[in-house]
A and B are shown apart, each in its own frame.
Chain A
Amino acid sequence: MSTEAVIIGAQIVAGHDGSAELLIQLRHPGGAEGPVVLDEATGLKLMKTCGATHVDELTGQSWRRIVEGL
């Protein structure tokens, strides 16, 4: 089991302000899973940081990649 949270899924959702947002599913150490929603700019940065051109390519990435995009 990983010692830090990893991305196990991602999808595009509608944000409160009318923009497309990125919903990331994280699996935490210990097995708990939970979502976090990134705004459009942060979501795009995350994809760029991970070199992803499709949301499915985010799976398996460390949660730290999200922080790098903030």
Chain B
Amino acid sequence: MYDVIVRGGLVVDGSGTPGYLGDVAVQDGKIVAIGKIQGDARRFVEAEGRVVAPGFIDPHTHFDVQLLWDGAAKPALEHGITCVVPGNCSLSLAPLRAEDRKQVIGMFQQIEEMPPAAFTEAFDWTWEDFAGYRAAIEKSLSINVAPLVGHSVIRLWVMGPDAQERAATADEISAMQDMLRECLNAGAVGLSTSFVDVDENGRPVPSRFAQFEELDALSAVLGEYGRMLQIVPEFYAIDITIARIDQLAELSLKHNIPTTFSPVFDSTATPNNVARTMARVEEQFARGARVWPQMQTRPIDISFSLLRPSLFFARLPRWVRILRQPLEARIAALRDPQTVEKMVADTGADGGERMMGGLVIRGGDGAPDELTGRTLSAIARDRGEVPALALINLSLEHGLDVALLSASAGHEVTERIGPMLAHPLVHIGASDGGAHLASFSTYGDTGYLFSEFVRKSGALSLEQAVAKITSETADIWGLKDRGRLEAGKAADIVIFDAATIGRGEERPAFDMPGNGMRYVRAATGIDTVLVNGEVAYSGGQYSDARAGVVCV
């Protein structure tokens, strides 16, 4: 008797080949048979009219902290993701000495925007080394985790406060190599580093003080294990990014390691950047290097409020002048009828309808719940005001703490993005799941891949899209048991409706420790998710299954 048989679905096995009708049998957490399966099972999952695919793998997340109290990395799992890679961008929660916790928490808060209570109330710090962190999360995982170890924390472990001051000595580099080996032996799937990130005080994170010799030495250790080097390059400057691609290629070739970098995203303001990036990537792959660019599927939204000056208003000189003022003076100016009259006039004869009418109230802040998700245009109509005036008055009524969203302001042209995602050397990822909590939702990118680039634009076939986020990801990262529906592989399976899989609207949720807020998106079209053979999510509900593992 099998444990589970998934019956009658369209099996899209992750290989990229056409799907076929069949059953999938599961035993002891593994896939044991695929095809027309006779026999009994403890549980049948009916999949008629649905796609049966390998669980999706998200290779760029920051769930390091959340996994300590939420082993499902919600809502990632309900989006069909069965394996997440935390520890990106040079930051992980181990190795980390007790006396250094405060410093690293500050770095995490800068990236994740997680409330302080997340670090003080939600879990006990029971570890310092990587094995201890692994043990702490393994207690209650319902999703699989393939963790990176962060260069910044290794540096901090070895160098103490000097990690954020200077280059390392030869002895220190040697000690970092030993520590990296220890982490890889304890289950890390690679090393992450950053050339961009800063801590909560705006200081470069420790990894940014490393000289090339240090990265080369650490890559040599990765080479002993064939493991991944992940970096965040200076993505704001394309020429530097290309120089980093070359640097990664040298490390890849010298040490025979895979490397990946992110973010890579399109902008119509710099329409050649992705093409230039990919041209260099293609050249380096042709040399034998492995330098995988990670590209997100979702568009980039701009969000802002009048609490802080924003470049969103950079085409409105008077607004910039007023919003630059200290808070008290700014509020006084916004309450002055003559000033406001001029500000509104600056936005055009339509009172800002064209410029601001499409802005959406985000919620989760000072704005009343009933306004969340509504456009400024609609709210202005209800108030009998033009949009620019409604923006000012609404903000004043709520202490300026009203966040607005300018949706799809970058990486948004489907006709451009689709072919990029379909490129055989583009690694779909860079979701940042678990980060930027108070800025935007980092969930639902996989659903968006299917709704926008399979169903709407047809840039990828269903089978190609599945392969992109399953087998290709597993191969890139060396996750040998994952990414394919194949006898002997782990039974990570997602069952979804190809006609409806997608992402819900972004909404605020107050489910972080200490009632902290984050933006989330629900999944649509996902029926059932199995992790290592156990149903972890079905019919809109999470189960009590805790079958997730740290996978390598």
Contact = CB atoms under 8 A, between A and B. Distances in A.
B310 interface: yes
Nearest to A20: B311
B304 A53 contact: no
Contacts of A20: 302, 304, 310-312, 314, 409
Contacts of B309: 44
Contacts of A54: 314-317, 320
Given A14-B409, A18-B436, A20-B304, A47 B236 contact: no
Interface string A8-39: 00011111111111110000000000111111
B300 interface: yes
B237 A47 contact: no
A15 B300 contact: yes
Given A14-B302, A19-B302, A53-B320, A34 B239 contact: yes
Interface in B439-496: 439-440
B525 to A, nearest CB: 26
Given A14-B411, A17-B436, A18-B302, A35 B311 contact: no
A43 B302 CA distance: 15
A18 B439 contact: yes
Contacts of A40: 310-311
Given A53-B317, A53-B318, A54-B314, A13 B410 contact: yes
A23 B270 CA distance: 9
B265 interface: yes
Given A18-B301, A18-B439, A19-B304, A12 B236 contact: no
A34 B273 CA distance: 10
A70 to B, nearest CB: 10
Contacts of B304: 19-20
B302 A35 contact: no
B267 interface: yes
B88 to A, nearest CB: 13
A48 interface: yes
A16 B235 contact: yes
B324 interface: yes
B414 interface: no
Contacts of B320: 47, 53-54
Interface in B402-416: 406, 409-411
A19 B321 CA distance: 19
Contact of A35 (B270, B310, B315): B270
Contacts of B45: none
Contacts of B274: none
B238 interface: yes
B440 A36 contact: no
A35 B317 CA distance: 23
A23 B273 CA distance: 13
A35 B301 CA distance: 21
B440 A38 contact: no
A50 interface: no
A39 B237 CA distance: 12
B364 interface: no
Specify which of B302, B304, B311, B316 lies most central, judged by the most chain A CB atoms within 10 Å of its CB. Answer: B311
Given A18-B439, A20-B312, A53-B317, A37 B237 contact: yes
Contacts of B301: 14, 18
B314 A16 contact: no
B314 A12 contact: yes
Contact of A17 (B315, B317, B324, B439): B439
B263 interface: yes
Contacts of B439: 17-19
B98 interface: no
**Which 4 residue pairs across A and B have the least CB separation, nearest first?**
A14-B410, A53-B317, A14-B409, A20-B311
22 contacts: A14-B302, A14-B406, A14-B409, A15-B302, A16-B300, A18-B302, A18-B436, A18-B439, A19-B439, A20-B310, A23-B269, A23-B270, A34-B238, A34-B239, A37-B236, A40-B311, A43-B314, A47-B320, A54-B314, A54-B320, A55-B314, A55-B315
Interface of A: 11-23, 34-40, 43-44, 47-48, 53-55
Given A36-B236, A43-B314, 5 more contacts: A14-B300, A16-B300, A18-B436, A20-B310, A53-B320
